[in-house]
Chains A and B, each alone.
Chain A
Amino acid sequence: MSTPMHATAPMANDEERETATYPGQRPPHASVGSHRIEEEVFGNAYDPQTVRRIWAYVRPYRRKIYLSVAAVLIFTATQLAIPLIIGRAIDTGMVAGGDMQALVGAVIAFAIAVLLNFGASYVQETQVGEVAENVLFDMRRAMFAQLQRVSLSFMDKTEVGRLMSRLQGDVNSMQEFLETSVISVGDIVLLVGIVVVLLSLDPGLGLLTMVTMPILFVVRIFWLPRAKRAFWAAHETNSLTAGAMAEGINGVRTVQNLDRQQVNFDLYDDKAYHNLENQLTGSKYAQVMVPIVDTLTGISMATVVIVGGNMVLNGTLQVGVIVTFLFYIQRFFDPIRSLTMQYSIMQRAMTSGRRITEVLDLPVTIADKPNAVTLTSDMDGSVEFRNVVFGYDPKRPVLKNVSFKVNPGETVALVGPTGSGKTSAMALVHRFYEVQEGAVIVGGHDVRDVTQDSLGAEVAMVLQEPFLFTGTIFENIRYNKAGATLDDVVTASKAVGAHEFVERLPEGYNTVLEQRGSNLSLGQRQLLSFARALVADAKILVLDEATANIDSYTERQIQKALEILLRGRTGMVIAHRLATIRGADRIIVLQNGEKIEEGNHDQLMELGGLYSRLYNMNYASFDDIPDDLVAQANAKASST
């Protein structure tokens, strides 16, 4: 697809349906699954700053870490000791006649080593496992808590999926790192230990035996980057195939509706087959190490047998030492293998650590002042905008010097075309964002001078899209008003007209809403979100009216509920429906971030400005009016 598609196209056979020109050809406009590009995670294996930050989370458990490092050292020591004890038992106890006492001693030593081994491995593995789990959960909690505080402008522009992969994937690779790092301490000690023991048993034979070790190191250094790429590719195509499958399941109705089965099957086959090829390549890389390690082991054993045997002949070596050597060779390559693996784990962990600290370091731009006042329910409930300037991008203000006051108990409708700044104004009352200039005053206090919690308790909000949580209806309506009883919830539901349908559900208020209430209709969800706001019982209600079309009866029910919700409260409503607008005490007309008209319905109609022109177009809602008509009305309004 290189040429711009709207440039040229023959019109003649436009109506005909195209098909493949040769078997196996794929259609030009089709794919299954998404093209996901994931950054590779092969960065630095050590980054001091990240390590320091991560250590802060490990620190509380440092005693356990020290304990398990000690246990690892003991464990490794016993692993080193066992072949030695066996060798000694042979040399002192069995060779040349035999010495029962030496054998008893060796068996006792063996028993002690085994018991130490048992205890140490138990301590080490439980401690490390639990610490790694704890650190994982602590980090995740810290990130989650931070996300509750960071500015909403950050949340607005960040995908939930990206944050989730920080909270899960990255945290998991940190856990993997913590679990394996203590074990790799053991591996290093074991490796050094084997080298030392072999050299001290017999320097010459030791060196000869260990010739294969650097060979394995070199082989692995060449092997690792290639293998890693192969494993990565296999992992990638595997998740791409899984993604395509999930898409096929989730979109199955659309697929059948548009008869895409055959095309999708072929495209999926392509993906799955490509995955098969990558998996096979991955297997090749994984398995090729097996004969290499076995060959090197074989060489070392043969060396010990020939050279060691000759040394025995010369009387410079005892038979037991040969047995010891043979035992060590069996264990030789394990630490090398796991150490090179550990390198990749560290790389991954550093990248993840960086991403985690990014989240932890997100600036909290909106925080309580040290001497913030608690807003109490005896405040008068007025809302005032004083010369408010605000924009998500400071250079492009959404609200330009807006001033108005909502008196206690009054309902004000904010109206205006899309992009006029209504929604932003509403968000400022709750201090979702900070004003650039001017001030938002609630109950006589600048919102920046009161605690956020008390502001939240006195300003209830109903959003355009009702958002429900998985959980019972009772929990959803009560939300965080812990003091609310079932009676309060039922009363609120009755008031907004939700009680009837809730009662009809199988478990009434204990009915669990699956997947954010997708088993309810939009209108029902709306009513529940009204009930939630009613239970919150705040002095001020800020509401963004829904625009979606629901059936007329439910819509009317919602209108009634709205009246009940506003009774006795100060209300700011972003109104779409004419009925709501007409019912308001005062109407404020916003356009391009400026207040252009203010007054009640009759006053505005008399004024003959934008409001009256839009109203006279006879649409049921201002949002129904097409943009070009709004522009026309505008032009006329400004010319008069």
Chain B
Amino acid sequence: MTTFKAGRDRSRGDAHAHLAAAHAGKGQKPLRRITAYSLRHGWQASFAIGATIIAAVLQLTIPRLLGHAVDQAQNVLTTADARAQEALVWTALTLLSVSVARGLFTLIQNYFGESVGHHVGYELRLAFYDKVQKLSYSYHDKMHSGDLITVGLLDLDGLRMFFSTGFVRTILLTILIGVGAWFLFTTDVLLAFLALSFVPFVAWRSSVAQLTLRATWLMLQEKLSVLTRVMEENLGGIRVVRAFSGGKYELNKFDAASKEALALSHQRVQVRVRNTSMMTLSFFTAMGLVLWFGGSKVIAGEMSIGTLASFLTFMTILQMPVRQLGLMVNSYARASTCGERFFGFLDAPIEIEDKPGAAPLTVTDGTLRFEDVSFTYPGANRPTLDGVSFEGYAGQTIGIVGAPGSGKSTLAHLIPRFYDVTGGRITIDGQDVRDVTLESLRRSVAVVQQDTFLFTTTIQNNIAYGDPWAKERKIERAAESAQLHNYIMGLPADYETVVGERGVSLSGGQRQRLSIARSLVLKPAVMVFDDSTAAIDAGTEHRIRSAMRRYAKDRVTLIIAHRLSSLMHADMILFLEDGQIVERGTHAELLAQGGRYKALYDLQTRPTDDIDVEIDADIERAAQ
């Protein structure tokens, strides 16, 4: 198993401070908020900023020193002065030390700039992850998981890098261009004007180019994701493709998606190249003008060769940073849009959380009670559950049946507060589920869901998901009860076999059995099977039920199922229709009543001719 480094505990304490800081500044503009957040790393940020200023100034002195050197060399020639030779050595040494110092300060600037970014990234990731886990089902129902992943990866990156690519770069460019221009203008106004003439043009083009590139990049990503989907679905559904001889059809689909993406890629190349070559051209044109006018001045004796050389080298030094103006503008644009989404997510209200001063749930008798419970999904105009009341005692099994959409699963989701009731209340041993802590509630209520999410890890870790401290014997016993143990022992590394997306894949029935084992490890007071045996054959289901019987005396068990054989044995069966309980009683009582339950029972057992007449009528109606 993984070993953990010392010092982790310290970071744990920090983690909560980071979360608090990420949530502070709520409502601020994203750029302001991320800047303030980045500046929390006070000394690293000041190192980066200080080093940037020094490095920029040093950078600017290099052309002057080179100019000096050229003039001194020229002087050596004309005056043949020994002191001039000495001055030359001094200039050379200064040049060397300035270069070394510039390198060191650039190192500091870049390293600490990036370091602030990495720290900010780490902290925002924690805040993001924490928030994902805290937001309730209703939020995740609305938000597409792919979009959320984009927020957590790309938007976070856009914010994280803002400090170095936006903030620090702004300081750098301001000094380079500002102080540089001041140097040049104080030397020679005309030449300074010419030397800097390319700056506005390049700044404009590079900003336009970067913004266009980003916009087309987003479009390209969209086209590429269509292409990815075409390929993925083709490979995943290869049997269907082959069965319908759809090879050519699929190639056409591929070509269509591919063509669109390729056209956009070409467009991007064009945008990039057109702008970079234009920028280079404008730069060299400016240089040519400096050479022409400067040269004329030198000839006229108004300027030294060294000064001209310093103008020219100054231009070469300025060329790259000016091109980066576009990156800087892009960084602002990106951080602002990314920040809007990212902080919007962090600030999203959490609908379901502990009440202030909520106490843990204390389970005594294990009585579950629904008191006139109603529930309406946000935005829906009809209630999904309407005035549902029933109670279950420890040791009892309650069966719930009803047509799809009758509210069965919703009922299950209300007990552990995946959603909150909109009317009435649900209590466990007299405590309203909304008054106790979520942690204690969810530990006492286990819902075995319809679809089992497998984590890519060992099958053992998957079973122990709710109780990762569980002893191995406990895990094994849960697997035995869920009738999964024999299968596991047949796997290459038995309980250590990795399952899930990147491991051994399990069949629908095996996944459901794993999900049952997961809940059994928890030994909950309330256990809900939400149609979670649909893919398990009746025989195995029967054995699971017998195996669970010995634990069942301590808990209320709710079984939601289509197959009546799964819940015929229940102490009470509730028949749901449009969110209301329309029939209730034991299997025998309900059969005797001769109502909807009986009709459903007949549907599943007797010959099907009568129902066919109904379906025929439906199809007939549709055909008209």
Contacts and interface: CB of A to CB of B under 8 A. Distances in A.
Interface in B536-551: 537-540, 543
B461 A29 contact: yes
19 contacts: A27-B469, A34-B500, A94-B305, A114-B287, A147-B235, A242-B152, A245-B152, A252-B132, A257-B442, A270-B8, A273-B122, A294-B106, A299-B99, A319-B305, A479-B244, A494-B622, A499-B622, A536-B244, A552-B600
Interface string B226-242: 00110111111111111
A554 B272 CA distance: 56
A29 B235 contact: no
B397 interface: no
A93 interface: yes
Interface string A129-157: 11001100100110011011100100100
B92 A291 contact: no
A122 B149 contact: no
A164 B461 contact: no
B243 A28 contact: no
A260 interface: yes
Given A301-B99, A467-B240, A259 B12 contact: no
Given A118-B280, A145-B251, A283 B114 contact: yes
Contacts of B296: 100, 103
Given A129-B273, A161-B502, A268-B125, 15 more contacts: A9-B474, A11-B473, A106-B295, A122-B274, A141-B254, A248-B133, A253-B140, A287-B111, A293-B103, A302-B92, A319-B73, A461-B239, A556-B608, A556-B615, A629-B539
A295 B100 CA distance: 5
Given A110-B288, A140-B258, A258-B466, A305 B239 contact: no
Contacts of A24: 4, 8-9, 12
B45 interface: no
Interface in A306-348: 306, 308-310, 312-313, 315, 319, 322-323, 326-327, 330
B111 A148 contact: no
B312 interface: yes
Contacts of A457: 245
A15 interface: yes
B235 A160 contact: yes
Interface string B510-527: 000000001000110000
A264 B468 CA distance: 10
Contacts of B616: 560
A31 B133 CA distance: 16
Contacts of B281: 114, 117-118
B615 A497 contact: yes
Given A148-B241, A253-B449, A551 B403 contact: yes
B106 A291 contact: yes
Q: Is the interface of A mostly helix, strand, loop or mixed?
A: helix
Interface residues of A, number: 180
A594 interface: no
A424 to B, nearest CB: 13
B88 A273 contact: no
Interface in B307-333: 308-309, 312-313, 316-317
B434 to A, nearest CB: 16
Contacts of B503: 34
B189 interface: no
B182 interface: no
A298 B102 CA distance: 10
**Pairs of residues from A and B, 6 with the lowest C-beta to C-beta distance, nearest first:** A298-B99, A456-B245, A294-B103, A626-B539, A291-B103, A98-B299
Contacts of A552: 562, 600, 603-604
Contacts of A106: 291, 295
B461 A295 contact: no
B461 A31 contact: yes
A552 B292 CA distance: 91
Nearest to B531: A549
A173 interface: no
A265 interface: yes
Contacts of B270: 126
Contact of B473 (A9, A547, A554): A9
A251 B140 CA distance: 11
B249 interface: yes
Contacts of A293: 103
B217 interface: no
A125 B88 CA distance: 43
A82 B291 CA distance: 11
A551 B406 CA distance: 12
B98 interface: yes
Contacts of B132: 245, 248-249, 252
B284 A625 contact: no
A287 B122 contact: no
Interface stretch (B21-29, B74-82, B167-175, B379-387): B74-82
Interface in B240-275: 240-251, 254-255, 258, 261-262, 265-266, 269-270, 272-274
Interface in A351-372: none
Interface stretch (A56-64, A274-282, A608-616): A274-282
A268 B241 contact: no
A126 B442 contact: no
Of A11, A302, A322, A460, most buried by chain B (CB within 10 Å of CB) is A302
B115 A107 contact: no
B470 A29 contact: yes
Contacts of B360: none
Contacts of A452: 245
B54 interface: no
B85 A245 contact: no
B231 A144 contact: yes
Interface in A228-285: 241-242, 245-266, 268-270, 272-273, 275-276, 279-280, 283-284
Interface residues of B, number: 182
A269 B133 contact: no
B305 A294 contact: no
B89 A34 contact: no
A480 B298 contact: no
Nearest to A246: B149
Interface in B429-477: 438-439, 442-443, 446-447, 449, 452-453, 455-457, 460-461, 464-477
B186 interface: no
Interface string B106-146: 11001100110011011001101110111111001000010
A258 B439 CA distance: 9
Interface stretch (B33-41, B64-72, B576-584): B64-72
Contacts of A485: none
A1 interface: yes
A600 B403 CA distance: 35
B611 interface: yes
Contacts of A117: 280-281, 284
A291 B239 contact: no
A15 B469 CA distance: 12
Given A114-B284, A327-B313, A256 B133 contact: yes
B348 interface: no
Contacts of A283: 110-111, 114-115, 118
A503 B308 CA distance: 79
Nearest to B251: A145
A221 interface: no
B389 interface: no
A440 to B, nearest CB: 15
Contacts of B76: 309-310, 312-313
Given A14-B474, A283-B111, A299-B96, A461 B244 contact: yes
A5 B495 contact: yes
B137 A268 contact: no
Given A253-B140, A500-B622, A247 B231 contact: no
B460 A5 contact: yes
Nearest to B439: A259
A245 B128 contact: yes
Nearest to B125: A272
A287 to B, nearest CB: 5
B63 to A, nearest CB: 10
